[in-house]
Structure 1
Amino acid sequence: MNFIGIIKKAIHLNLDELNYAKNNFLGYKHIDADIIPVILFLIKETFYRIWLDSKAIFISNSSKGKHICFYGTKNQYNAIYPIVSNINNAEFCSIKDNKNLHLHTALGYVLSWFFFPFLLNKYVKKSKVEEKTSIACFIRSNFTVYGLFIWYSIYFSYIKPKSIIVANDHHFHFRLLKEVCKYIGIPICYIQHASVTKNFPKLDFDLSFLEGRDAYDKYSKKGIDSEVHLIGMPKFDRYSGQINNNIQLKSLGVAFNLLDDIERIKKFLNSIIKETNNIEITLRPHPRDDRINFFKKICDENNIRFSDAGEVNSFEFLGMVDAIISSESSIHLEAALMNVYPIYYRFSDEITDYYGYIENELVTDVFENHDPLIKFLDQLKIKRPTNIRERCKYYNSTIGTKHDGKSGKLIKKIFEGKKFNIN
């Protein structure tokens, strides 16, 4: 391993490409703060990583020669689970904690401090030719780029994994892993973990598992440099035997996202709680929603159920309801897969149709006011359609095929015979 060569490669990495998510997606906050608090935060984070790695030393788990499946969120974990459970010699690896195998990052953080002057110089040059961003934002976003790239290149060259598998293609850490794999020649595989939007980047992995034509068409517009297989939604496999065939609406789920307006939510809840009779209601805020206590209070005061997205799988939640109300959320697709009726309600200033569900008729009932919604729910109480899954075919290529609910086995079949063969 040529250490000088690794450094040269590291300092020529495209920082904008690595930070694709922060530059192209809603919900990623840019930092406007003084540089001193950011430096103090990075010092604290470095010592935290050292502490975290020291704990992981006592976890006896060797990754040599294995398929390492990286995840950063519970949703990504659920997406990768069918791979780990269906192919030999595969294991989870967390980029955040040491619940499973832990990805060591401490040395990468320490190395990053040696590149701090270089990073400052990079910021000065960049700010002269582009619209100036805050130095705090630039340092916070790019501090670990060089150190982690060098460390990962050395570490993965040593353990020689059969492949790296990720369930995210736009977050910094996963894009950095992709660059490392390409540099040292480790096969890298991507598996879709949620619905794709037009903002997603070019698809350039050795092997990519997409759910259906919708994802493929959107990636095609950005460019595809990958072997692609349409395999449905593997995380649905465990729940394929729980399809909802109820002919009447008796239970209703309401899911909220981070961008939903709180005042619109309050008006909606006030109306739906008062005007829906004989319907059991369950509220489910986003796991990172800092308004969670508000939702819990509403549930306690009105004797309605609360679903903790941090603890309860979305499919388990959907197994409790006959219809779902939400705005811009991929839970509409998961609901339709379970034959749960998806309903769009505008909780924000405008209807963006972020995932194209309305355009592609996955969701056919859209409401901006509660009065027509209440009337529609009354209709569902009398007769609820039970052919909702048919709407998913554009998003999920296995619907109605022999592979429906068997995406994990399909992945195993595809993996066999590849250059990273299963033992």
Structure 2
Amino acid sequence: MMLKFILSLFYFDYADVNYAWSSSRLNRFKTPHLFVPANRIGLKKRFALFFYKFIRSARYLPNDFIFLFSFRKKTTFLKYYGSQNQKKSIEKLNVKYRTVSVSECLDSDTHFPLFFAYSLALLLFPITFIFLFAKKETRRALSYNADNYLLSIGSYIVWVVVLLKLNPSFVIMSNDHNVMNRSLLYACELLKIKTIYVQHAPAVKGFPKLRFNYALLEGKHASDTYESYDFCEIYYIGQSVKLRENLRQRKKTQLAVGVSTGISISINCYQTLINLMKDSELEVVIRPHPADPNKNFWREFALNSGISFSDSQEENTLDFLNRLDALVSPMSGIFLESATFNIQNICFNAGFKIPDWYNLTENNVCIEVDTVSEVINLILASDESNQIKEQIDAIKYYYFSDCFDFSERVKLAIDNIVDINRM
């Protein structure tokens, strides 16, 4: 095993572990502003960010030492999440077996020893540097992702240690292209630990082939979009929110319209839109994207304009959607969630080129318009039922549904996976 581990370091695929930036199929270079703020682009800035994160990771050192030198019982499932969305998608599975959660940045049972990952990455920097400049796909992405390229080998080594320490039978994760997830996947393959992928967002063409042992997918759109290896067994689990099949009655008086601001929008254009909505006697609820850098601006704008503001950290998405008749947003996966509520979906990119990653317009999940007046006219139209009916039909392609509810489908899938591996 030791020889195999040492060889894996020499053959470590930095490009594949950092698939999100290395892949020509995904090609983030067309729209880098959607993924990296302008003030963080550049080789020097990315190296500075690496050392900044390295220093910050030292605050967890006491907990990391306790973990590394404490006795741990064997666990059935290890759950890893690196973001709130990933955490929610895994926690809603409600796995009943013995589980341990691991994260480097969120509350979890075990903190991933990030300081040691950075330390090892720094120690191996000369070797990493040679590998990075040897390949075109990694060389061109250094200005956007150098810190993660450097970290990847260190995180892989530490994941091997963590897995040996916790000794799980299965590892569950809900991202397939970020550095922490892919380095964990490589460590699982080295140690022959079974992996389970849980879909946490709509599938996107260009993401890596599913190389997990099992994949819990929301519906047929995901299996049609993803490529997968032959050994990957797919289970459809649908979603936890039940689709409303019947058209709901719109309000007779003041229609409620949610305005979801994105990372890349024209602030002036959206301000004009919101002011016109007010003039048209529409009830407006502003809800910035969790990563919107202008969140505080929109909060103040809502306050000064006398309109409602929804904070994603205080009000969950489903409660927000439940009080709307229509939703206006730049292209976003939120349209899938709102379609389950029979809400009229209107995509307004305000002049920005935002890719339709999930084929939402093609599959009639939303209608895309180009001008403010088109948005207002669609909302005030006397009969929007045809659009809603198309959305209901479309959503069934994205979310699997049968006679069982979500929790029953998940339990059947997990129990079956455990039983198969007991044989």
TM-score where L is the length of structure 2: 0.85
Tell me, yes or no, if the aligned pair for 2:21 and 2:145 is still in contact at 8 Å: no
Partner residue, 2:264: 259
* Residue pairs, 1:399-418, within 5 angstroms: 401-403=402-404, 406-418=405-417
Paired letter, 1:262: I
Change (3 A) 1:58 1:280: farther
Give the root-mean-square deviation of aligned CA atoms: 3.2
Paired letter, 2:4: G
> What is the CA-CA distance between 1:380 and the residue it aligns to?
5.4
> What is the CA-CA distance between 1:124 and the residue it aligns to?
4.2
* Residue pairs, 1:8-407, within 5 angstroms: 8-23=7-22, 24=26, 25=28, 26=31, 27-29=34-36, 32-33=41-42, 35=44, 38-55=46-63, 64-83=74-93, 85-98=94-107, 100-126=109-135, 132-133=139-140, 139-220=146-227, 225-234=231-240, 236=241, 245-248=248-251, 250-274=255-279, 276-277=280-281, 279-350=282-353, 352-363=355-366, 365-379=367-381, 387=389, 388-398=391-401, 401-403=402-404, 406-407=405-406
What is the DSSP-based 3-state SS (H/G/I as helix, E as strand, rest coil) of the residue aligned with 1:394? helix
Q: Alpha-carbon deviations, 1:80-136, whole Å to 9, x = none?
A: 1122x242223432231345532222222222222011122224434xx67953766
Change (3 A) 1:139 1:34: closer
Gaps of 5+ in 1: none
Change (3 A) 1:124 1:390: closer
Distance 1:130 1:337 in 2: 39
Tell me, yes or no, if the aligned pair for 2:101 and 2:108 is still in contact at 8 Å: no
Tell me, yes or no, if the aligned pair for 2:73 and 2:166 is still in contact at 8 Å: yes
Change (3 A) 1:230 1:380: farther
Distance 2:51 2:368 in 1: 48
What is the DSSP-based 3-state SS (H/G/I as helix, E as strand, rest coil) of the residue aligned with 2:223? helix
Distance 1:91 1:241 in 2: 35
Paired letter, 2:276: S
Tell me, yes or no, if the aligned pair for 1:32 and 1:134 is still in contact at 8 Å: no
> What is the CA-CA distance between 1:314 and the residue it aligns to?
1.5
Q: Alpha-carbon deviations, 1:45-101, whole Å to 9, x = none?
A: 333223224246679995731312211222112211122x24222343223134553
Paired letter, 1:374: I
TM-score where L is the length of structure 1: 0.85
Bigger mean CA offset, 89-98 vs 196-205 = 89-98
What is the DSSP-based 3-state SS (H/G/I as helix, E as strand, rest coil) of the residue aligned with 1:144? helix
Paired letter, 1:54: P
Gaps of 5+ in 2: none
Distance 2:415 2:284 in 1: 45
Q: Alpha-carbon deviations, 1:366-420, whole Å to 9, x = none?
A: 321222322222235897987553331110111xx323xx223211111113247
> What is the CA-CA distance between 1:18 and the residue it aligns to?
1.2
